[in-house]
Amino acid sequence: MLAPVRIEDPEDTPVSLDDVKLHCRVDFDDDDVLLEAFLDAATAHMEKMLDIALVTQTWRQDFDSFKCLRLVKGRAQSEGLVVEYWDSANAEQTLPGPTYRMLVDSVGPYVAIAPGSTWPQVYCRPDAVSVSYVAGSSPEGVPAALKAAILLHVAHLYQNREAVTVDAVSNFLPLGYEALIWPFKKVGL
């Protein structure tokens, strides 16, 4: 399995700029661009740490065969699922939709062969099978704990704009952040 590649960025953020401003107690517009940049950074950081897609975005996952088509970006949607492969003659093909389906187990979503169907033979290459899929949800579908953690992170970035401070107060990201995201971490993967 090769590293997943985002092929379509999200159009939304998990929390709105208004929510960020309310959380940071900012009642003016001068810092909107800065707060949006911190929101983007905090969202990207969380998605990378948890290896998930928070809000709706499109990903491509490449595999060397049809053995195990595990979709690693979390909440995948069956709409928009497309499986392409390089056949035994090294020609690109698209697998017909009724041939496969998305299932979810305790580890997460994966693509499985439909009953009565068989996987085709593929050419020997590291990207022999490509699965494109939509992962994430609407901002309303993002768990409240993750939204709260993003707000904590943005507020921390907004209040502590330097890498090092000279005062005696520690300026690490609040421990509440780790407690909020801990249940969403992938263990043993």
End-to-end CA distance of the chain: 13
pTM here is 0.83
- Work out the percent of the chain whose per-residue pLDDT is above 70: 93
The band of 140, judged by pLDDT with boundaries at 50, 70 and 90, is very high
Helix orientation angle between 144-159 and 32-50, rounded to the nearest 10 degrees: 130
Residue 168 above 60 pLDDT? no
Residue 162 above 90 pLDDT? no
pLDDT on residue 167 = 63
Residues facing 112 on adjacent strands: 101
CATH for 57-135? Answer: 2.60.40
pLDDT on residue 169 = 60
Q: Where are the domains of the chain?
A: 5-54+139-184, 57-135
CATH for 5-54+139-184? Answer: 1.10.3230.30
- Length of the chain, please? 189
Residues facing 8 on adjacent strands: 58
pLDDT on residue 124 = 96
For residue range 15-44, what is the model confidence (pLDDT) as tens digits? Answer: 999 999 999 999 999 999 999 999 999 999
pLDDT on residue 173 = 63
Residue 189 above 60 pLDDT? no
Which residues are CB-neighbours of 42 under 8 A, at least 6 positions away? 150, 153, 154, 157
Average pLDDT of the segment spanning 102-122: 92
Residue 164 above 70 pLDDT? no
More confident residue, 151 or 108: 151
The band of 174, judged by pLDDT with boundaries at 50, 70 and 90, is low
More confident residue, 173 or 137: 137
Say what the alpha-carbon torsion angle 13, 78, 60, 117 is, to the nearest 10 degrees: 170
pLDDT on residue 10 = 94
